[in-house]
Structure 1
Amino acid sequence: MEQTTNALDLSLLVWPGAALALAGVVGILACVRSVMKARNAGLPDAEMVAHMQKMGAWNMAALGVSAIGLALVVIGLLLG
């Protein structure tokens, strides 16, 4: 007799999670590139501080996206 289940296959979370983690890493690298570009441009202090604050927010968002992606990969591997 064949056994069928209607359970969700959580291993399907691995590849989307990896893509999300990779997108987060790309975002972090883009933030680093933007800050290095602004630093080399010799911006005045006020503009540099404003740029760094903006990039800090984007960097935290990219880190969050990367963490969510890694969490999906772990869940997919452990429960899939």
Structure 2
Amino acid sequence: MTLFDGLIWGGAALTLAGVGALVWCILIVVRARRAGLDDAALRERMQGVLAVNLAALAASFIGLMLVLTGILLG
């Protein structure tokens, strides 16, 4: 296994972790909306999920860039 193979597999793992976190965010938001919370409680729940959502998007993006770098340089 070369360095570039490691970049590809590491990037794929990071991307999958990011996608998993995005699915988790979706499930939390769906549960919160179905709970029938008022605006203030729903907004408070969304603020916590927003940080995880942005981190998940960043992880997915970085993972995809690692995969692309491994493919282009390998």
TM-score (norm 2): 0.91
TM-score (norm 1): 0.84
Q: CA shift at 1:44, angstroms?
A: 1.9
| Residue 58 of structure 2 is aligned to residue 64 of structure 1 | yes
| Residue 41 of structure 2 is aligned to residue 47 of structure 1 | yes
The separation in 2 between residues aligned to 1:13 and 1:43, in whole angstroms, is 44
Partner of 1:35: 29
The separation in 2 between residues aligned to 1:9 and 1:16, in whole angstroms, is 10
Tell me the SS of whatever aligns to 1:42: coil
What percentage of aligned pairs have identical amino acids? 49
Amino acid at match of 1:52: M
**Which has more radius of gyration?**
1
More helix by share: 2
| Residue 15 of structure 2 is aligned to residue 24 of structure 1 | no
**Unaligned regions of 5+ residues in structure 2, if any?**
none
- Cα deviations across residues 36-70 of structure 1 (Å, max 9, x unaligned)? 00000111211100111211111000000101110
Q: Over aligned residues, Cα RMSD in angstroms? A: 1.2
Q: CA shift at 1:12, angstroms?
A: 2.0
